[in-house]
Amino acid sequence: MSPLFGQPAETEADTANDQPPQPENGATPVQKRSVAVPDDEYRQRGLSRDDVRFLDRILGVMNREDDEYTLLDQMSRLRDEYDALDMGRRMEQGLLEAASAAGHMCYTVLADGRDFLGRVLKTGPDAGDPGEKTPHKVGVWLLELWLHQQTTVVCVEPYYETDDGAVLDAAGSDKDGAVVWAGVAEFASNNRQAQVEDYDTLTALEAAVIWAVNNREPALKVLDSLAEAVRIDERLSRRAARSFTTISDTVDNFDAPGLSTGWGFKNLGQRLNQ
């Protein structure tokens, strides 16, 4: 990855003699990206300009608007670009959430954080799902990269809407425009019926399907749900459930039209880097 985001953040002392004109609403642009949050608003929250800069940059990455940083880069390196951050305060206020994806820490700017910035999370075809969090976006990005490597695929589209109105996390189409691969990024859920319905939707596509999961828990839950609903012929053995490698090998041997292969995010990333 190229060097991150230019120069270190300025302090108030550094910019005291070089302030831009102040908007009528009392806001000062806290970043070159023209994000303006009223000074009294972020100060009342106990936040700094760097806090606002960081929130804005993370949302830019989530929206795929950043030219230097992607969802697969370590967000801890971005965090380290700013000196005056109060991670705990932003999380306590419901502006930001931290979670792990593909073996790395990543951050999600939550709805209150987006309102604070006066920005939105992009949604729709090629953009994202409503309320989507960064770990899921990481999974979708990995699926896209994997689909690009499939020999029958000439076009990859994230958040692809089918003719029936279903939204696929990622879809790969052949030269004739037919979907030949579908991808789903799955997380832990107690809604077994929803997992079965997702499987049935994917089966109806008559395309090959890759399921990607962030850790072993959702993989085991999905397979257990499908076995219970008689969508796959057998339950995963205790031995096969020991690692993602053995889970993937077992899934590859299933005769399941809605589940052609399955990978963990981290394993998928490692394979793509080979």
Q: Are 124 and 251 in contact (CB under 8 A)?
A: no
Q: How far apart are CA 144 and CA 129, in angstroms?
A: 15
Q: Is the pLDDT of residue 2 over 70?
A: no
Q: Please give the pLDDT value at position 33.
A: 52
Is the model more confident about 204 or about 274? 204
Question: Which helix (H) or strand (E) element contains residue 157?
Answer: strand 155-161
Q: Are 73 and 109 in contact (CB under 8 A)?
A: no
Q: What domains lie within the chain, and their CATH numbers?
A: 27-117 (1.10.10), 136-272 (3.10.640)
Q: How far apart are CA 68 and CA 13, in angstroms?
A: 28
Q: How far apart are CA 209 and CA 202, in angstroms?
A: 7
Per-residue confidence at 3, pLDDT binned at 50, 70, 90?
A: very low
Q: Are 26 and 38 in contact (CB under 8 A)?
A: yes
Q: How far apart are CA 56 and CA 118, in angstroms?
A: 10
Q: How far apart are CA 233 and CA 271, in angstroms?
A: 28
Q: How far apart are CA 255 and CA 235, in angstroms?
A: 13
Q: Are 71 and 135 in contact (CB under 8 A)?
A: no
Residue appearing with tokens 């019926």: 193
Q: Is the pLDDT of residue 149 over 70?
A: yes
Compute the mean pLDDT over every residue in the chain, rounded to the nearest whole number: 85
The amino acid at residue 112 is D
Q: Calculate mean pLDDT across residues 149-161.
A: 97
Q: Is the pLDDT of residue 21 over 50?
A: no
Q: Is the pLDDT of residue 153 over 50?
A: yes
Nearest to 166 by CA among 208, 210, 121, 204: 204
pLDDT tens digits for range 190-213:
788 988 999 999 999 999 999 999
Q: Calculate mean pLDDT across residues 6-21.
A: 31
Question: Which helix (H) or strand (E) element contains residue 115?
Answer: helix 111-117
Nearest to 222 by CA among 170, 180, 264: 264
pLDDT tens digits for range 167-183:
999 999 999 999 999 99
